[in-house]
């Protein structure tokens, strides 16, 4: 990662009148965000100025403020880059643009969302780099045993693999990683997404367009006529999509998708809530992956320490009773130039992989609760997200505080 230097951006902001270039200012903003490793840039108008924040490793950080006088010019520049209407100020608009750097490796796609607010138009820019599409299961934080479970599942010719978690937990990145592993000349892969995050060579990718009548459900019906082996549905949002997805998996297709649930075990009752018959859920779902993203400790400034007895007691009270009290060293980030004083740099997943075995199928048929399914899965060898996170904390990848923050948020 290039060292993030805010000086060019701040220097440009200090210029007055004709000396200030809005084109250069917006360009510096994107360059700084890219160097910082930010996933999003928030340009928020207030009563007296324009606040700029960046989401780094999942946490929003203040960046700078723009004078109120240049608010409209900055937003107009973003609209021009994104091919949006500059004369429309009272309706939401979505677009995207690509910024090319000095080398091919510096290319970044920027997805833009603009919405009217009380103090003017708000802009959120999502930075999409090819790096996320190049990841492996190992780099995503999956343990060797969990990787083996997923690798067995993607060798199946039919069934469903579901990635679950809240917004921003890395579900789509996990699906892209699986798609990349499956991508070969003898397999036809079709995706339907909203939006398409990364373009992958050799895969047919379809963008949802509700205004044109192309929804997940309608698109999935069309995909079935495209003779696919593997189908990726960006998200199962409603009963109609869920019903078509299950029937697709039942008729000889491997289907990958995401679902908004708190953990892997809740995935199965959630499908029942979507009016899917228990026997269909039991016979189609192969694996449910629960995941969160925690900040990774900065390798340049992390240090080990021995917690005090009071800290250990407080920690044990924050954890479930079945988690043993930790007696060894823990790790923390001191903060340095490399991590901009945060003590963290980058993120890693904490995961759980629930394999649908005969015992769990029987529980689904009996409409068992998520907690009952979770208990069976743990007895059959599933490592929970919390335990996976604690393991990563004890090896110095992250901190206990970070794991608790993300798991319990």
Residue positions counted in the chain:
409
Measured distance CA(385)–CA(261) in Å, rounded: 13
Residue 312, C-beta contacts closer than 8 angstroms, at least 6 positions apart: 325, 326, 327
Tokens of 117: 């607010």
Which pLDDT value is given to residue 1?
44
Its pTM stands at: 0.86
Scan for tokens 């068992």, then name that residue.
Answer: 368
Residue 204 confidence (pLDDT) above 50: yes
Spatial contact of 170 and 291, defined as CB atoms under 8 Å apart: yes
Which pLDDT value is given to residue 408?
74
End-to-end alpha carbon distance in the chain: 29
- Torsion sign across C-alpha atoms 155, 161, 165, 169: positive
Write out the residue limits of the CATH 3.40.50.300 domain(s) in the chain.
137-408
In this predicted model, what pLDDT tens digit does every residue of 362-407 receive, in sequence order?
Answer: 999 999 999 999 999 999 999 999 999 989 998 999 998 899 888 8
Q: Where are the beta strands (DSSP E) in 89-175?
A: 93-99, 108-117, 120-128, 159-164
Measured distance CA(112)–CA(93) in Å, rounded: 8
Mean pLDDT in residue range 69-91 = 95
In this predicted model, what pLDDT tens digit does every residue of 235-259 receive, in sequence order?
Answer: 999 999 999 999 999 989 999 999 9
Q: Helix 358-365 vs helix 370-379: angle between axes, to the nearest 10 degrees? A: 170
Which pLDDT value is given to residue 210?
85
At the topology level, CATH places domain 6-128 in Beta-Lactamase (3.30.450)
The CATH number of domain 137-408 is 2.40.30.10: no
Write out the residue limits of the CATH 3.30.450.90 domain(s) in the chain.
6-128
């Amino acid at each position: 990662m290039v060292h993030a230097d805010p000086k060019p951006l701040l220097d440009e902001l200090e210029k007055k009148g004709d000396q200030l270039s809005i084109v250069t200012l917006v360009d510096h903003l994107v360059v700084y965000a890219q160097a910082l490793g930010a996933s999003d840039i928030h340009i928020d108008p207030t009563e007296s100025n324009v606040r700029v924040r960046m989401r780094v490793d999942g946490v929003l950080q203040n960046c700078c403020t723009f004078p109120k006088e240049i608010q409209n010019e900055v937003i107009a520049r973003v609209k021009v880059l994104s091919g949006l209407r500059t004369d429309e100020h009272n309706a939401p608009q979505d677009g995207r643009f690509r910024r090319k750097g000095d080398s091919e490796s510096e290319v970044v796609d920027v997805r833009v969302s603009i919405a009217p607010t009380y103090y003017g138009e708000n802009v959120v820019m999502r930075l999409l780099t090819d790096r996320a599409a190049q990841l492996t299961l190992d780099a995503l934080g999956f343990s060797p045993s969990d990787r083996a479970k997923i690798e067995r599942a993607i060798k199946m010719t039919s069934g469903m693999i579901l990635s679950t978690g809240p917004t921003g937990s890395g579900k789509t990145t996990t699906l892209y990683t699986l798609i990349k592993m499956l991508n070969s000349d003898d397999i036809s892969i079709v995706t339907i997404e909203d939006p398409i995050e990364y373009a992958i060579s050799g895969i047919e990718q379809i963008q949802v367009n509700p205004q044109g009548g192309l929804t997940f459900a309608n698109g999935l019906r069309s995909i079935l006529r495209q003779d696919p082996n593997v189908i990726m549905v960006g998200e199962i949002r409603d009963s109609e999509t869920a019903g078509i997805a299950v029937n697709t998996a039942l008729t000889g297709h491997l289907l990958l998708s995401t679902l908004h649930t708190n953990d892997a075990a809740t995935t199965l009752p959630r499908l029942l809530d979507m009016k899917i018959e228990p026997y269909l859920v039991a016979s189609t779902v192969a694996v449910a992956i629960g995941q969160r993203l925690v900040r990774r400790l900065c390798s340049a400034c992390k240090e080990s320490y021995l917690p005090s007895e009071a800290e250990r007691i407080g920690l044990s009270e924050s954890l479930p009773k079945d988690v043993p009290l930790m007696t060894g060293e823990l790790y923390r980030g001191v903060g340095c130039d490399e991590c901009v004083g945060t003590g963290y740099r980058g993120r890693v997943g904490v995961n759980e992989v629930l394999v649908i075995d005969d015992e769990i199928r029987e529980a689904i048929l009996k409409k068992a609760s998520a907690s009952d399914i979770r208990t069976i899965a743990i007895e059959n060898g599933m490592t929970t997200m919390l335990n996976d996170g604690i393991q990563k904390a004890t090896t110095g990848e992250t901190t206990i505080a970070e794991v608790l923050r993300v798991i319990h948020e």
